[in-house]
């Protein structure tokens, strides 16, 4: 029951994810507000629709890959949105892979489960929603090796697993609705703080007379080893094939990191939890964006914040 897939949001990530589904043999219909993004598919004969509603009419499942919560709300509840087209819906499963706040995911999931299905499909009487954000970035989206962290009903997760595995290599079930979104923002806050810690340590080390290459060797065989030191080193010239080796171009932008940290800060505030490192990391990434590095990879914090170089 998941042959016809509607894919909405064909940007850096969505373009590759939708392409991998086409390669896997799914019948895809697409939509994006950006005409150029849409054209890449319509030119290949893939049905491209002007509204989310039209996509929903010919799909069993909808996947959204949009920048932020407000875009996801537009696509679901806006005029011509997924939930407003008919009194009875065709798709029985809605998967949102955007990184958004768990509260919005939970609210949408509740609203979706109140809708009615055009015809009963599988085990579902009402449509279901999964939040399924991804980790791995653009190269993993292209290679089909993303990791999906999924919240929602477990039966729906199991039914959708083949779809996830056409776009990724790993899926982790996180529990009820919103838990995938929660997992993603926790992952990204830990990644941001580790990147800041490693960058700060490299700058201090250099000022104390230890080169970044020596310190990297030490970190990677000591207790400070982490992804930011051994897989995504922020110091130019230490590793090949990472954004720091190409002037911090490509990769995961500071703007998206600032957005994810803002989600973590507001989720913590909502439940009255103190997360001082998250707030500090958010402020640093907001400052980088204000200085004009919003489109640079987030590891540029080493050069443009700690080293104080603005070129
Ligand atoms: P992007 O900005 O490249 O793509 C988003 C696409 O959504 C664009 O094509 C845009 O035109 C479209 N869009 C926006 N509003 C729309 C609307 N109302 N209706 C239809 N289309 C709309 O973003 P991306 O890099 O592909 O990221 C998408 C999501 O995945 C974000 O939440 C991001 O945080 C997350 N993510 C990104 C990465 C990464 O490395 N880029 C990694 C993991 C997760």
Pairing of strands 146-151, 134-135: antiparallel
3-state secondary structure of 26: coil
Q: Is the CB of 160 under 6 A from ligand 1?
A: no
Nearest CA to ligand 1 atom 20: 32
Pick the CATH number of 4-176 from 3.90.25.10, 3.20.20.60, 1.20.120.80, 3.40.50.720: 3.40.50.720
3-state helix, strand, coil in the chain (%, to 5): 50, 15, 35
Total number of residues shown for the chain:
311
Question: Is the Cβ–Cβ distance between 298 and 261 less than 8 Å?
Answer: no
213: Cβ contacts below 8 Å, ≥ 6 apart: 237, 238
Pairing of strands 128-131, 116-117: unpaired
Q: Is the CB of 180 under 6 A from ligand 1?
A: no
Q: Is the CB of 32 under 6 A from ligand 1?
A: yes
pTM value > 0.80: yes
* CA 54 – ligand 1 centroid, Å: 20
- The reply to whether ipTM tops 0.90 is yes
pLDDT at 141: 95
Testing ligand 1's pocket by substitution, the residue of 20, 54, 66 carrying the most ligand atoms inside 8 A of its CB is: 66
Exactly one of 121, 184, 255, 259 is catalytic; which is it? 184
Nearest CA to ligand 1 atom 7: 9
Question: Is the Cβ–Cβ distance between 5 and 21 less than 8 Å?
Answer: yes
Do 4-176 and 183-306 show the same overall fold?
Answer: no
User: pLDDT per residue over 181-231, tens digit each?
Assistant: 999 999 999 999 999 999 999 999 999 999 999 999 999 999 999 999 999
User: pLDDT per residue over 245-299, tens digit each?
Assistant: 999 998 889 999 999 999 999 999 999 999 999 999 999 999 999 999 999 999 9
Q: Is 184 a catalytic residue?
A: yes
Residue 111 has pLDDT above 70, yes or no: yes
Q: Is the CB of 75 under 6 A from ligand 1?
A: yes
Question: Is the Cβ–Cβ distance between 72 and 38 less than 8 Å?
Answer: no
Query: What is 183-306's CATH number?
Result: 1.10.1040.10
Query: Domain ranges in the chain?
Result: 4-176, 183-306
């Amino acid at each position: 029951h998941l042959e016809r897939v509607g894919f909405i949001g064909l940007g850096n990530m969505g373009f590759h994810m939708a392409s991998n589904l086409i390669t896997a043999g799914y019948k895809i219909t697409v939509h994006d507000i950006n005409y150029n993004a849409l054209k890449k598919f319509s030119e290949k004969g893939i049905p491209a629709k002007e509204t989310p509603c039209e996509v929903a009419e010919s799909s069993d499942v909808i996947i959204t890959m949009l920048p932020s919560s407000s875009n996801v709300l537009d696509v679901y509840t806006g005029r011509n949105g997924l939930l407003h087209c008919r009194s009875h819906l065709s798709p029985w499963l809605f998967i949102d892979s955007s990184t958004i706040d768990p509260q919005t995911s939970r609210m949408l999931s509740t609203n979706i489960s109140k809708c009615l299905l055009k015809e009963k499909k599988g085990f579902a009487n009402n449509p279901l929603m999964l939040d399924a954000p991804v980790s791995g970035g653009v190269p993993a989206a292209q290679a089909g090796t993303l990791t999906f962290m999924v919240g929602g009903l477990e039966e729906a997760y199991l039914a959708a697993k083949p779809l996830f595995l056409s776009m990724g290599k790993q899926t982790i079930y996180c529990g009820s609705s919103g838990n995938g979104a929660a997992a993603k923002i926790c992952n990204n806050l830990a990644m941001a703080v580790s990147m800041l810690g490693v960058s700060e340590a490299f700058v201090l080390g250099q000022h104390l007379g230890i080169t970044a290459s020596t310190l990297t060797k030490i970190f990677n065989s000591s207790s400070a080893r982490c992804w930011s030191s051994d897989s995504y080193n922020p110091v130019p010239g230490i590793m090949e094939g990472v954004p720091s080796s190409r002037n911090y171009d490509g990769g995961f932008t500071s703007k998206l990191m600032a957005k994810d940290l803002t989600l973590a800060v507001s989720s913590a505030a909502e439940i009255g939890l103190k997360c001082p490192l998250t707030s500090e990391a958010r402020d640093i990434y907001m400052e980088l964006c204000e200085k004009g590095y919003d489109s640079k990879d987030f590891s540029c914090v080493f050069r443009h914040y700690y080293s104080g170089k603005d070129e």
